[in-house]
């Protein structure tokens, strides 16, 4: 036996095997890379680039129908590769209503549908609490707490996440100036007119704007411990024209006084020096501020056709970057979608979305009406613009604007992604872009907020009672 020849043959076999293995690994990685990039072989054995859709729902486990037929993507909370172009996705589940939307899948991109909600068809109303007198209510941003407000100084609040609802007292007699504590009144009277009530994200504080005759008062109420509430107007002896909550737990606020922007530390009750002068409008995301301001006289002389400008700065830095000049005051919002931040500017009916990092990168939209206000939605996924009952939604996922109308201008947020309106006692819900209009309850009061809590309870008021319904099987 020629041992040397045998060794050579064995070495050759090993080399060939290793080459084949390396080529197989390269081929596999290449195929996977092409699949991840959206490339697929169609029924005609042609290579085409596709996109992907990711579908979730509440409740989970809904049936997924695409373009009128079911497929191996049978349930929600999964993903599927689809050809580029329009596809109609319908979700159904036994015992629930249905949900449907036509989406545009783009080559090599993921389209997320994480917000579809199905409502249990047969529900039994639970009568939780009587609502008496001239009572109104407000619900926290996280839909966990409801505060009942009346014309006395004895308010109350509810933890909506509890199986058993027990109102807890909220004595606001020392928080507002707009109260009367006459000896003839056993409880005192709240005499102010509430203009606005904004919650922080933790559901522990409410920022009230109250009118008393011709005066405006700003008060930050601590729902959990009312003794820690702060009357901002009295504390700082200032007539603030606007105040916004800066962080989750209201430790910091942004306030405009005499058109000058300040920061308020609610823990130390300190107000900063002027951050920006001549502020017309402002918004923030975490510690970043975007604003519209009027030019000073000197600057206006240099730029006679640019009376206003859009600016940006970070708290702690305070170095202002002037992004653009305008001839009219514009509305601005700052948002984050995925890992990218955007500055959206609204000038009359012209909407422009800028990349915060490269302000020159922008997308333009023209609306058929002039919105009075803008609101950034949950996780920055959309921007809602409104005037009366005319709405326009900029869907950041789909990169398009849809205009739509709602029954009246008394709408609110059912959860993070759905709006509601009560019209002639009918409780009607919409997705944030106006799709999937559904009637979910009758005989609801339009004077009280509606909320979904813990993705299982629907709260509304009917016939002077707080009603709770299970909207999922339990």
Structural domain spans, the chain? 39-113, 278-405
Model pLDDT for residues 61-104, shown as the tens digit of each residue: 999 999 987 755 567 777 888 888 999 999 999 999 999 999 99
End-to-end CA distance of the chain: 79
Beta pairing, strands 438-441 & 85-92: unpaired
Residue 258: predicted pLDDT? 94
Model pLDDT for residues 411-441, shown as the tens digit of each residue: 999 999 999 999 999 999 999 999 999 999 9
Q: For residue 372, what pLDDT band results from cuts at 50, 70 and 90? A: very high
39-113 classified as CATH 2.60.40: yes
179 or 174: which carries more pLDDT confidence? 174
Q: Is the pLDDT of residue 167 over 90?
A: yes
Spell out where 185-227 has E strands: 189-190, 193-199, 205-212, 215-222
Model pLDDT for residues 29-41, shown as the tens digit of each residue: 555 555 555 555 5
Contact in structure between 271 and 255 (CB atoms under 8 Å): yes
Beta pairing, strands 457-462 & 78-83: unpaired
Q: How far is CA 349 from CA 11, 26, 283, 307, 390, in A?
A: 75, 53, 19, 19, 13
CATH of domain 278-405: 2.120.10.80
**Could you give the count of Cα atoms lying within 13 Å of 344 in the half-sphere of its Cβ?**
28
């Amino acid at each position: 036996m020629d041992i040397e020849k045998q060794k050579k043959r064995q070495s050759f076999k090993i080399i060939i095997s290793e080459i084949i293995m390396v080529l197989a690994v390269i081929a596999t990685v290449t195929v996977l890379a092409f699949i991840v990039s959206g490339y697929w072989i169609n029924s005609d054995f042609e290579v085409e680039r596709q996109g992907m859709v990711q579908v979730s729902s509440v409740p989970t486990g809904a049936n997924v129908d695409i373009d009128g037929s079911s497929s191996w993507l049978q349930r929600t909370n999964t993903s599927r590769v689809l050809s580029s172009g329009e596809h109609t996705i319908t979700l159904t589940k036994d015992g629930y209503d249905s949900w449907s939307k036509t989406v545009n899948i783009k080559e090599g991109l993921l389209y997320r549908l994480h917000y579809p909600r199905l409502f249990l068809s047969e529900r039994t109303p639970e009568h939780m609490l009587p609502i008496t007198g001239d009572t109104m209510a407000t619900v926290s941003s996280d839909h966990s707490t409801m505060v009942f407000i009346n014309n006395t100084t004895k308010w109350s609040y509810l933890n909506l996440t509890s199986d058993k609802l027990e109102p807890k007292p909220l004595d606001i007699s020392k928080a507002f100036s707009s109260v009367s504590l006459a000896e003839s009144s056993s409880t005192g009277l709240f005499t102010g007119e509430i203009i606005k009530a904004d919650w922080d994200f933790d559901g522990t504080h409410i920022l009230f704007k109250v009118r008393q005759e011709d005066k405006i008062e700003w008060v930050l109420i601590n729902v959990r411990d009312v003794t820690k509430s702060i009357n901002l107007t009295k504390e700082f002896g200032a007539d603030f024209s606007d105040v916004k909550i800066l962080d989750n737990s209201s430790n910091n606020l942004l306030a405009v006084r005499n058109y000058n922007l300040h920061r308020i530390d609610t823990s130390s009750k300190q107000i900063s020096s002027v951050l920006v002068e001549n502020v017309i409008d402002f918004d923030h995301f975490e510690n970043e501020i975007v604003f519209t301001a009027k030019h000073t006289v000197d600057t206006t002389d240099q730029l006679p056709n640019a009376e206003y400008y859009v600016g940006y700065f970070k708290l702690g830095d305070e170095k202002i970057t002037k992004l653009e000049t305008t001839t009219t005051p514009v509305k601005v919002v700052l948002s984050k979608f995925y890992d990218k931040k955007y500055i959206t500017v609204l000038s009359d009916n012209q909407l422009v979305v800028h990349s915060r990092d490269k302000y020159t990168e922008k997308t333009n939209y023209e609306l058929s009406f002039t919105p009075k206000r803008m609101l950034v939605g949950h996780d920055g996924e959309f921007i809602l613009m409104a005037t009366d009952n005319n709405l326009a939604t900029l869907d950041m996922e789909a990169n398009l604007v849809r205009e739509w109308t709602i029954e009246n201008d008394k709408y609110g947020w059912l959860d993070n992604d759905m709006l509601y309106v009560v019209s002639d006692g009918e409780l009607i819900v919409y997705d944030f872009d106006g799709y999937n209009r559904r009637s979910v309850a009758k005989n609801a009061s339009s004077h009280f907020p509606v909320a979904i809590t813990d993705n299982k309870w629907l709260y509304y008021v009917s016939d002077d009672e707080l009603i709770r319904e299970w909207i999922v099987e339990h």
